[in-house]
Amino acid sequence: MDPNIYVLIKNEYDRRRKKAIDELEARKSELYYHVPRLEEIEEEIHRAGFKYNKLLLMGLLSSDSAEEELTTAIDNLGEERSKLLSKYGYPSDYLTPAFACDKCSDTGIVASVSGDKTCVCYKQQLINYIYDQSNLSITGNEGFASFLADFYADVPSEARYGIKKSPRRQILGILENCKNFVENFGSSEVRNLLFSGPTGVGKTYMSGCIAIELMNRGYTVLYQTAPSLFNTIYEYRYKSSNDDSYDNSVYKSIMEANLLIIDDIGTESPTGMRYAELLGIMDTRCANDKRKPCKTIIATNIDLKKLFEYYDERVVSRITGSYDIFRFAGDDIRRLKNSTPP
């Protein structure tokens, strides 16, 4: 996990908590001006706590007696405060901070008998940041549960689809392999994935399904088209040494995100430098995968034979050596959806 994400979330919690407390102080200031007795009650509650703690430390009261007397005193003062708030038309929680999360009071941590634990709101905040940073359009994609095989023909036609199986049987097999990829994502034994096939047969959508399943488990994901990927790298090469204010977070994510999805590979202009950059990404991520999950999905519309002719031998060797290759087949799903009556 990128440590910067934790810093961002901590800053967000600090901001929320400060906002809630500042708003409370503003309400107090306005209310105490109109109802001075409420400020007196708050001061008396503080003095009561201090008084009984002092008596307890001096041994003048037993712990049970101190607790009972303190509780009674605070309850009486609290009851008087509630009556005053009601009398002047204020809600009973008007002098309580309006935290976004009541469970953790906007700290991200919930205290329990067994020890402090991460609040559910923190886990959701973490997922939200991971989603925002993924660069992936996930509208309407809810993971594997939303992947439908109904748009894939159930009748084999090697002449039409280039495979002996029916497209539906093919995609169901790919789906099971992708589920296994997610389930065993943390293992360094799990290989990267390469999706090939014509436009519109579900490669990007399947990549999105995998991304969502992993992001829901707290893994970081970065989606890049091949042209954008290389533009980011070239920008980094130029600006990192010439611009002190340059933000290299996207470049770092290319190398370090738990899952990198490179879409439309083969659409970028072929140059020796780009081959070297792609090779560098593959090698760096494979090395990183030995200490933490750092896997890659490559998707291409180009036929595998042409793709391997497109790249030099070193790139092809890396792909065949560390990627499981899946061929998507079928009709253009977008056209099928557009032609299907509502």
Strands 192-196, 323-327: pairing kind: parallel
pTM: 0.69
Please report the domains of the chain, with CATH numbers, ordered by start residue.
3-119 (no CATH), 134-339 (3.40.50.300)
Q: How far apart are CA 147 and CA 144, in angstroms?
A: 5
Q: Label the pairing between strands 117-118 and 109-110.
A: antiparallel
- pLDDT at res. 61: 57
Is the C-alpha dihedral spanning 213, 214, 220, 226 positive or negative? negative
Token readout for 189 is 């034994």
Digit-coded pLDDT (tens) for 147-156? 989 999 999 9
* 120-133 helix and 3-34 helix, angle to the nearest 10 degrees: 120
Average pLDDT over residues 242-247: 72
Cβ(194)–Cβ(300) below 8 Å:
yes
Q: Which two tokens stand for residue 96?
A: 């309580």
What per-residue confidence (pLDDT) applies to 262?
93
Read off the pLDDT of each residue in 253-272 and give the average, rounded to a whole number.
Answer: 84
In sequence order, the 6+-apart residues with CB closer than 8 A to the CB of 143 are 209, 212, 213, 216
- Beta-strand ranges (E) seen in the chain are 109-110, 117-118, 192-196, 221-225, 259-263, 295-300, 323-327
Least confident of 128-137, 207-216, 271-280: 128-137
Helix axes 272-288, 313-322, angle to 10 degrees: 30
DSSP letters, 47-102, are: HHHHHHHHHHHTTSS-HHHHHHHHHHHHHHHHHHHHHHHHHTT--TTTTS---S-T
- What is the Cα–Cα distance from 240 to 97, expressed in whole angstroms? 44
Confirm if 229 and 267 have CB atoms less than 8 A apart: no
Q: Which helix (H) or strand (E) holds 136?
A: none
pLDDT value at position 66?
A: 58
How far from 324 is each of 59, 89, 190, 197, CA to CA, in Å?
73, 67, 9, 14
d(CA 21, CA 97): 6
What phi and psi, each to the nearest 5 degrees, are found at residue 145? -65, -25
Instruction: For residue range 43-71, list pLDDT tens digits in order.
Output: 888 777 676 666 656 665 556 665 677 77
User: CA–CA separation, 190 vs 183, rounded Å?
Assistant: 10
The predicted pLDDT at position 242 comes to: 74
The more confident residue out of 31 and 58 is 31
What is d(CA 111, CA 262) in angstroms, rounded to the nearest whole number? Answer: 42
Q: Which structure tokens are listed for 134?
A: 């993924």
- Tell me: pLDDT of 312 over 80: no
CA angle 215, 283, 262 (to 5 degrees): 45
Which region among 61-75, 140-154, 209-223 has the lowest average model confidence (pLDDT)?
61-75
Contact 260, 254 (CB under 8 A): yes
Residues in contact with 123: Cβ distance below 8 Å, sequence separation at least 6, in sequence order: 218
pLDDT of residue 3: 60
pLDDT of the residue at 201: 94
Q: Looking at the predicted structure, is the pLDDT value of residue 301 above 70?
A: yes
